[in-house]
Structure 1
Amino acid sequence: MRFVGNIGLGALLATVVAGTAVAIAASWGGAYFLPGALAGTLAGAAALLRLRGRVRAAVAGLAVAAVAVVAAGAAGLPAEPGPASAVALAVLVGSVTRVAPARVVAAVATAGLAVVAAGGFTRPGSSGAFAVTTFALLAWAGGVLTGGALRLLDARRLAAVAAVRRDERLTIARELHDVVAHHVTGIVVQAQAAQLVARKDPAKAGESFAGIEAAGAEALAAVRRVVGLLRDDDGTDPGARAVSTGPERIADLVRRFERVGPPVHLQLPPDEDRWPAEVAAAVHRVVQEALTNVARHAAHAGGVTVTVSEVDGAVTVLVADDGDGGPPGVHSGYGIVGMRERVEALGGTLRAGPGPCGGWQVHGTLPLPAAGARAR
């Protein structure tokens, strides 16, 4: 693309050099066109080679134009910088303005303006000098404005890319925390239970080890699904889609939790399969993280209540335990942050804190899109 652009620029500069030479030969006669043609060719060459070093090319082009201005004033030649040099300087100044540091941009732009102004002052009464200087000034302004606009577009593009990368990192962090932490917590709890069982009844310890093995296999499968999600570019990998499990798997999640935690009283709505995938996944993650926190921080709780309902166009999920709630700050890790980000990203709200009758509860509300919006 750059090569094609350079071809077009070269053709434009050659046309301007030739046209200016013909015009000067017709009005001035003789070989008066040669100095301007040479200056335009050299400045144009610097513009064509700008990508090898934008600042160096701009300095070279400005030096050529400055020498041409001085020579034109001293020898009574046609006013400089001529149209070809002006076009080349515009490209060079714009190229530097787009990518160089602010100080370099200011220096190059000021030098370009000084060269253009000097050309108007050295031949104030010459034929066509005003038109040539005006064209050079407009070309300089166009180069600065174009370079500035492209610089702004580049900055916005980079900011958008940075935002996408930041969101992707947050997504990865949430997926790894939600999936891995849940399973690893189950393994740790079962390992602790196995130690107690082994002391009292070594014959029954094998059952605990079997549970640890099963939990480890589930954790490995979950990690593979997360990796599949991160590698799946077009959304066609069924293994990747499986990581975003919805409410239809909450019952399985609860049964797995009850192997290591207190009993759970589960209430699910009958029409949960109508929910959009993103809402279902968010509900599942809230329940998963809340149960993980119960296993970590409320191991002595007598029971847990998980209630998921749909009321007035919104899905409500409540996970409450009857434990002691843990010491202050124990629930301030990344799990609650991740839950809140997921829920708020869908326009919902999430609260986590001590329950009104003791224990700890997580309460989230996610609005459902209208039926027409779901159909679209």
Structure 2
Amino acid sequence: MNVPEWLAGRARNASDLGLAVVFAAVLTFWASRIAESWGSGYWQFGCVAGAVVCLIALLRRRERAWAAIAGLAVAAVAIPAALFGGLPAEPGPAMTLGLSVLVGSAVRTLPARSAGAIAAGGLAVVVASLFSARTLAFGVPAVTMLNGAGWLAAVAAGLAPRLLAARRRAAADKVRRDERLALARELHDVVAHHVTGIVLQAQAAQLVARKRPEQVDASLAGIEAAGSEALAAMRRVVGLLRDADGADPATRSPERLEDLVERFGGDGRTVRLRLPDDDEAAAWPPEVASTVYRVVRESLTNIARHAPQSRTVTVGVARDRDAVTVEVTDDAPRPSARSPRRRGYGLVGMRERLEALGGTLRAGPREDAGWSVCATLPVPTRERR
């Protein structure tokens, strides 16, 4: 048993001990009051019945449903017995307290249907106490008010942590859904980028095979390398589900951006990269550095997919005192109205990531030609030194 479990067990034992002391005090008090008002021969039945329910309440952790049923059954027997035997009204304070513990425990932990049945049984005991009091002509009897207050307190004490636990589960489910969406975006980013590269190299290999057959082997080797890189990247992303600590680090340094841009260049396309000074880049927060990398990667992937005719691509990353700005532009001709650029999950994912960090994203055609993606990320205060 680890330390938290040991501490939890000690806390449960302490609470049960305190509850037993309260039960004993209430039983003693009620017995003395009945002996004073009714006489010495009338307190035994109520105290024995109350003690039985209190004992069941102390043993409730073993089987909460059956414990609650047993406590309600004792009350169901005690009420008509007191009514027809000419005894003080039941349930008394001790039994009411025991039943409140049993009902509250059941409402808190049992499945909804079972918890509702136990709560309904407790309410039936409250209603039945009206008849055992034999004072209906003078308004609601005190014993009924006591039992009603105990039942309401039990239901409230059981529902409050139950609803809180439900909210926590709902929040956890939302986080899991968000993580699945994040993983889908990660897979989209990785697969789209690498598969686009493979497709472009395969198209180039077809041209090489017709014009320069001696270079086919080199083209096939490039396709093989790109495929191996895609598999490795997908394994890293899927690894995020298994072990976050062993996954690929989130931070993307400027050197990684240089590698990304270098892989993207070729086929007559010129890619220019402008980066901030090394000291400025080193001060990037990890989440900002990761998002910068993702914005550049997604923008280049979109250019490869939707603007293969572009010849010049410019990637600019700059940082001032308050923000990091990323802009990726190309010079592709404007698409016709019948073949507009599609907006898939990549652009949506970029916008979601940026907005989550308090940033903005602008994407659209440039005035002269081509497309522009501009992202701005605020730098957290703790990073501004």
Q: 1:323 aligns with which of 332, 339, 346?
A: 332
Give the Cα separation in 1 of the matches to 2:10 and 2:223.
Answer: 62
Give the Cα separation in 2 of the matches to 1:283 and 1:40.
Answer: 69
Q: Indicate the RMSD between aligned Cα atoms, in angstroms.
A: 3.4
The residue number in structure 1 matching 2:248 is 240
Unaligned runs of 5+ in 2: 1-7
The residue number in structure 2 matching 1:113 is 123
The answer as to 2:204 corresponding to 1:193 is yes
Secondary structure at 1:77 match in 2: coil
Give the Cα separation in 2 of the matches to 1:227 and 1:174.
Answer: 12
Provide closer, same or farther for how the CA distance between residues 5 and 12 of structure 1 changes in structure 2, counting only shifts above 3 A. Answer: same
Give the Cα separation in 2 of the matches to 1:215 and 1:278.
Answer: 27
Q: 2:168 aligns with which of 157, 160, 163?
A: 157
Offset from partner CA, 1:53-92 (integer Å, 9 cap, x none): 63x6544433331221121111112221123321232123
Is contact 1:36-1:68 (8 Å) kept? no
The residue number in structure 1 matching 2:4 is none
Percent identical residues: 52
The residue number in structure 2 matching 1:314 is 323
Is contact 2:100-2:153 (8 Å) kept? yes
Q: Report the count of equivalent residues.
A: 367
The answer as to 2:357 corresponding to 1:335 is no
Secondary structure at 2:318 match in 1: strand
The residue number in structure 2 matching 1:287 is 296
Give the Cα separation in 1 of the matches to 2:93 and 2:17.
Answer: 14
Letter in 1 for 2:329: A
Give the Cα separation in 1 of the matches to 2:184 and 2:326.
Answer: 23
Is contact 1:308-1:318 (8 Å) kept? yes
TM superposition score normalised by structure 1: 0.83
Give the Cα separation in 1 of the matches to 2:331 and 2:363.
Answer: 14
Is contact 1:305-1:320 (8 Å) kept? yes
Query: Per-residue deviation at 1:108?
Result: 4.5
Provide closer, same or farther for how the CA distance between residues 254 and 360 of structure 1 changes in structure 2, counting only shifts above 3 A. Answer: same
Name the stretch that deviates more: 291-300 or 174-183: 174-183
TM superposition score normalised by structure 2: 0.81
Query: Per-residue deviation at 1:215?
Result: 1.6
Provide closer, same or farther for how the CA distance between residues 260 and 152 of structure 1 changes in structure 2, counting only shifts above 3 A. Answer: farther
Letter in 2 for 1:284: Y
The residue number in structure 1 matching 2:269 is 262
Secondary structure at 1:240 match in 2: coil
The answer as to 2:98 corresponding to 1:91 is no
The answer as to 2:191 corresponding to 1:180 is yes
Name the stretch that deviates more: 99-108 or 149-158: 99-108
Give the Cα separation in 2 of the matches to 1:180 and 1:67.
Answer: 70
Letter in 2 for 1:87: L
Letter in 2 for 1:193: A
Is contact 1:36-1:78 (8 Å) kept? no
Name the stretch that deviates more: 207-216 or 45-54: 45-54
Unaligned runs of 5+ in 1: none
Provide closer, same or farther for how the CA distance between residues 39 and 11 of structure 1 changes in structure 2, counting only shifts above 3 A. Answer: same
The answer as to 2:281 corresponding to 1:252 is no
